[in-house]
Copies of this chain bind each other. A is one copy, B any other.
Amino acid sequence: MPDARQYIEIEGSLALRRGTLARPTVAYETWGKLNGAKDNAVLLFTGLSPSAHAASSNSDPSSGWWEDMVGPEKPIDTTRYFVVCVNSLGSCFGSTGPASTDPITGKPYGLTFPVLCLEDVALAGQKVVAQLGIEHLCAVVGPSMGGMTALAHTLMFPGVADQLVSISSATHALPFSVALRSLQREMIRKDPLWKKGQYDIDAPPAQGMQLARKLGMITYRSAHEWSARFGRERSTDDAHQEDSDAFGITFEVESYLEAHARKFVGAFDANCYLYLSRAMDLFDTADHGGSIASAFQKLALTRVLVVGVQSDFLFPAHQQEELADAFDKRNIPTEYVLLPSIQGHDSFLVDMDRFRPVIADFF
């Protein structure tokens, strides 16, 4: 299997906000070349579930999660920029997370992994950047959870990044979004196979993961899109009926969710999901100074792009506006774009015709 991942190993222990990790690894991929002045690097943080494989490359020609956005002549143009995408600390695609082996005990961390914060994810990203000999970032970029992580990075390392691109993200999680994620986590935790996090790697809490993924899919898209896409169409898919009862799949939308949920299980570790999901709930810009305004005092950004989507109800329009306003009030030149995409929170992954020009214009 082609693999473009590179790794840094952090010596000794890494101090997190709520604990420490012994000798963690951080996986990342890069595209393009760092120039002589070392001033063309872009650091990219991901949403909850993607790996560092944002785009294809010679080492790994498979499509990445942001294939349309990152590459030669693409909006984040890798003939001009040196792009670094990190796999989030706490995830399961090469970086140390709850599914990794604790070098101290020789056993998987499971729930002994410290409470994870997005500040820890940002710190791990900064360790990669530093190890690559980059003192200065042209920009830090992130969609969704990655946007919160990018914001955390600018607050923790003011002066390192000149520019910030925040996509469908926010200064903090709303109680509505917390409620939805809390329920997703509970679905996993209530699966008997979860076993308080000590599940057998070959018998993961698949049922809980599938339920959580379905709720995720529902919250990532929009009612409007699904009306256009599914209407009242009945399912013709018999493949997922085998374990069904009288309340099995009737409508096409149910069939669609089932297929996606099944794909997710096995592709993502349950405990990693729990840790990263909660890290989003815990993130609050106000923790960096008592209020957003005072936290923003420490920022040393020269330019910001805030992009959001009208139909996003997980990171709604008013949160995009709040974020853009806060940069404005801090007198940081800010472009604010609210796109009329109908695909909800996930639009940055699918409505590329709208997203590409906005990102391209900025870069």
- Contacts A111-B246, A246-B115, A281-B251 hold; do A183 and B257 have CB atoms under 8 A apart? yes
Q: List, in ascending order, chain B residues with CB within 8 A of A175's CB.
A: 223, 226-227, 229-232, 251-253
Knowing A185-B247, A245-B111, A284-B232, the reply to whether A253 touches B223 (Cβ < 8 A) is no
Does residue A132 face the partner (Cβ distance < 8 Å to B)? no
B179 touches A218 (CB 8 A): yes
Q: Mark A279-290, 1 if CB is under 8 A from B, else 0.
A: 001101010000
Interface size in chain A (residues, C-beta < 8 A): 50
Whether A245 and B281, one on each chain, are in contact in the complex, defined by CB atoms closer than 8 angstroms, is: no
Q: How far is the CB of A21 from chain B (nearest CB, A)?
A: 16
Contact pick for A183, options B186, B218, B232, B286, CB 8 Å: B218
**Contacts of A230 on B, CB cut-off 8 Å?**
175
Question: What residues on B are CB-neighbors of A186 within 8 Å?
Answer: 211, 214, 247
- Name A311-359 residues within 8 Å CB distance of B: 313, 316
Q: For A172, list chain B residues within 8 Å (CB).
A: 232
- Verify if A274 is at the interface (C-beta below 8 Å from B): yes
Q: Are B176 and A190 in contact (CB under 8 A)?
A: no
Does A178 lie at the interface of the complex (its beta carbon under 8 Å from any beta carbon of B)? yes
A345 smallest CB distance to B (angstroms): 13
A56 at the interface (CB under 8 A from B): no
The verdict on A180 contacting chain B, using a C-beta distance below 8 Å, is: yes
* Known A-B contacts A183-B218, A189-B247, A247-B274; A223 and B254 likewise in contact (beta carbons under 8 Å): no
A250 cross-chain contacts in B, Cβ below 8 A = 278, 281-282
* A177–B257 alpha-carbon span in the complex (Å): 13
Bound form: Cα–Cα A223–B177 in Å:
8
Interface contact A187-B189, CB-CB below 8 Å: no
Say yes or no: A226 contacts B179, CB within 8 Å: yes
Cα A194 to Cα B189 with chains together (Å): 18
